[in-house]
Amino acid sequence: MPSSTIKLNSGYEMPLVGFGLWKVNNDTCADTVYNAIKAGYRLFDGACDYGNEVESGQGVARAIKDGLVKRSDLFLVSKLWNSFHDGPRVEPICKKQLKDWGIDYFDLYIMHFPISLKYVDPSVRYPPGFTDENGKVTPGKASIQETWTAMEKLVDNGLCKSIGVSNFRGVLLMDLLRYAKIRPATLQIEHHPYLVQEGLVKYAQDEGIAVTAYSSFGPQSFLELDMQQAKDAPLLLEHPTVKKIAESHKKTPAQVLLRWATQRGVAVIPKSNNKDRLAQNLDVLGFELEGKEIEEISGIDKGLRFNDPLNVSYYTR
């Protein structure tokens, strides 16, 4: 069986398949995390903006208390939100997030977007979202370099083992690599057959930066946001090409979509509350797609991006 981890440029091993915590409800989050650990998941991808870090940490703490895992068995990920990009804000908010999780360090801490927004004090609103205290989207003044330099200090101070970026295009990644003393260990991007981003994936991997895909099922993740673009796009899980390949391998369409990514060295972070799908999503390394099948799936590409900050109205309701 292929390796179940990716060796990061920071020297650490990261699971190839993890569990994403975006849109996991607060009232079920602790149980969801606990059950996912019980099912075999070891990587959990969280964020300040998801608003469920306290509950995620409760699920982790219960699993450790019950002897299911040790902290060292887990790979816990969180993200720096846009309104905390000013250099002096980075370490305090990271420490708050660690406290919310109830842990001493993050295995990976990611810059969520290459966007600086006006600071909102956590006592005013947390998580702050895209708007300031007056309900307006107000740009901040921090450069990516200022923010990244502050994130590098998190590694030096033992608050996280690796640092990475998310939602970066190629030119921003190139610029970051000019001045980074600690290179980003990972690049997390929207990645599915409607948005393959082949050039960006290749560039990152050639630079020794591991790529993680979110929204592996395409429009599926965005339907509950009432996004018209997602409603208009045919579901990838029902796409004839995906279904045909799934039938030939006796796998589900979801497993084929995840294997399309992992077989190309791209990590995935699906989520599910269903016990059977939890197991199925984790079991995507035990079969191989043929080269022509990977090409067929990649050929579905439409350059269709759902998670675009310019569509900020979907995130400020």
Q: Is-contact 85 146, C-beta < 8 A?
A: yes
What residue has token string 């690599």? 177
**Alpha helix locations (H) across 66-197?**
87-101, 144-156, 170-179
**Beta carbons within 8 Å of 134's beta carbon, 6+ residues apart:** none
Helices 240-249 and 253-262 pack at an angle, to 10 degrees, of 90
**Alpha helix locations (H) across 169-210?**
170-179, 198-206
How many Å apart are CA 285 and CA 304, to the nearest integer?
Answer: 27
Compute how many other C-beta atoms are within 10 angstroms of the C-beta atom of residue 317: 7
Indicate the pairing of strand 186-190 with strand 210-214.
parallel
Return the structure tokens found at 231.
Answer: 């409603």
User: Any catalytic annotation for residue 34?
Assistant: no
How many Å apart are CA 76 and CA 12, to the nearest integer?
Answer: 12
Helices and strands per DSSP (H, E), number in the chain: 11, 10
127: cis peptide before it, omega within 30°?
Answer: yes
What residue has token string 């956590």? 122
Q: Is-contact 128 88, C-beta < 8 A?
A: no
Check residue 190 and give left, alpha or beta (phi > 0: left; psi -120 to 50: alpha): beta
Catalytic residue among 12, 34, 41, 50: 50
Question: Would you name the residues annotated as active-site residues?
Answer: 50
